[in-house]
Chains A and B, each alone.
Chain A
Amino acid sequence: MKEPVHDRQLAFAPQAALNRRMPLIPRESVAGVALAAVIAIMTVLACLTAGGALLLAQASQGWRSDVLREVTIQVKPGAGDDVESLVAKAVLVAAQTRGVKHVRVYSAAESAKLLQPWLGDGLELSLLPIPRILVVDMDGAAEEDLAGLRAALARSTPQATLSDRRIWAARIGTMANAVVVFAMATFALMIVAMAIAIGFATRGAVAANREIIEVLHFVGASDRFIAREFETHFRNIGFRGALIGGLSAMAFFISAATLARWLTDSAGGAQIAALFGAFALGPTGYAALIVIGAVVTVLTGLVSRVIVFRHLRGLQ
């Protein structure tokens, strides 16, 4: 091919600004936008589920470590008993028990604060038979003697009862674990649902771009090349969806943490804090959301690649 055959006026070529690397699968389509929206929504839900499970796992860990560190003693004064004297005796007995690190007595004001959500402000404790609470911090390192403490209290201060919250903590822990497992199962189902949605969208795209696939085959493109083009196309859609979904989920958790901080002093806020901690995912949690986004992006590309490959293999 040495000599140009004609068209002298076309003997120059605008070599500058060659538009030469368009994707072979058309980038914009209604189906593509819809799929990006579906992926974004599924990513938000997956991130919320995973983030919620993480928060619950962290909170559950917090509850359990708190509970393992503490036991409480309730002093229920009878008629005519001097409550302060009973409390002092119980403190003495507790402090002498092996494994006890520190004993703290809830003041009347603290007790009132504990009861405030149920009984309201302006509480006059002296008018009510309210037990006094002693919080006993255990020394995790030493061997504990809770049976000895219970027996000593029964001897010296029968009005005092030891409340070991470990059984309750074990139940709460089991429940929290169950919720985390349930959340992870929901997360897995969402990923499966997303993969199915991607599969349908890929099949639709293959059908819509049948002519492009034919032309590519005729010009000598291998199945691998065509599948890679579809993978790139869908990975880009997946990335867009995952980015929108992931950022939305992050925005939710940041807003929730900020709101939880604002509400810390309210009764409701205290309960939320008790359940979910500070509602803060922390760096690990946010890293997990980024990983979810990356997994969604890669998954979108891979699922479409596998489906296109299978479709092409079936073609004669």
Chain B
Amino acid sequence: MGPEVVRDLNFSIAPQSFQFVTGPSGAGKTTLLKLMLLSLRPTRGTIHIFGHNAAALSKQQVTALRRRIGVVFQDFRLLDHLTTYENVALPLRAMGRAESDYRAEVVELLRWVGLGDRINASPVVLSGGEKQRAAIARALIVRPELLLADEPTGNVDPGLARRLLRLFIELHRLGTAVVIATHDLPLMDQFSFARRLVVGNGKVVMFDGVST
């Protein structure tokens, strides 16, 4: 067991809320997101997610809950042997939906994030920004109740970063709770309504934003 990365945390993510998780590199932002994604288990304390105690969940329940969560990884985690289309469609395929059933939906979302002409491209040939958008599209395709995004604007220029953020806000307006880990302070300043969870010294301090 390694050192405690974060401790004594006590916060909740309200449905349809929007928050940034921020703090210096290595402060534990990614760890916090992994805990919320049920990818890590806390050594102490409990996590309640969608009304369930995470410690008491079976693997099937974890799978069912993850289908209500969209996640954008800092390193994208796109599968290189699949096309952009297949990567974005992956959560739907994993849910057992027929390809003919979701094809139009995936193509529409790819257009929406500006990857309409990269449908059949392998992630290997995509630029950093394109990979980022493909990863975001993959997280959005299931219309999640909770979206976790780890540095989703870390690899794109400021203009595209703002556009991607607007995309998250649009999703938030449609009813998704959004948690974005970033240390891009100027970007956060543009969205003053959002709550900020500042991670530092292993603890979280909350600053409520102005309500939308």
Contacts and interface: CB of A to CB of B under 8 A. Distances in A.
Contact of B91 (A11, A219, A223): A219
A49 B163 CA distance: 67
A147 interface: no
B138 interface: yes
Contacts of B67: 220
A60 to B, nearest CB: 53
Nearest to A23: B81
Contacts of A216: 90, 94
Given A22-B86, A219-B138, A13 B110 contact: yes
Given A10-B111, A220-B67, A5 B163 contact: yes
Interface string B109-150: 111111111011000000000000000001010110000000
B120 A17 contact: yes
Given A14-B119, A220-B63, A220-B66, A1 B109 contact: yes
Interface residues of A, number: 36
A87 to B, nearest CB: 82
Contacts of A27: 81
B83 A4 contact: no
A243 B133 CA distance: 43
A18 B111 contact: no
Interface string A1-33: 101111100111111011111101011000000
B95 interface: yes
Interface in A209-263: 211-212, 214-223, 225
Interface of A: 1, 3-7, 10-15, 17-22, 24, 26-27, 211-212, 214-223, 225, 313, 316
A24 B39 CA distance: 21
Interface string B63-78: 1101101010100010
A30 to B, nearest CB: 15
Interface string B37-70: 1010100000000000000000110011011010
A18 B119 contact: yes
B184 interface: no
B112 A222 contact: no
A13 B171 contact: no
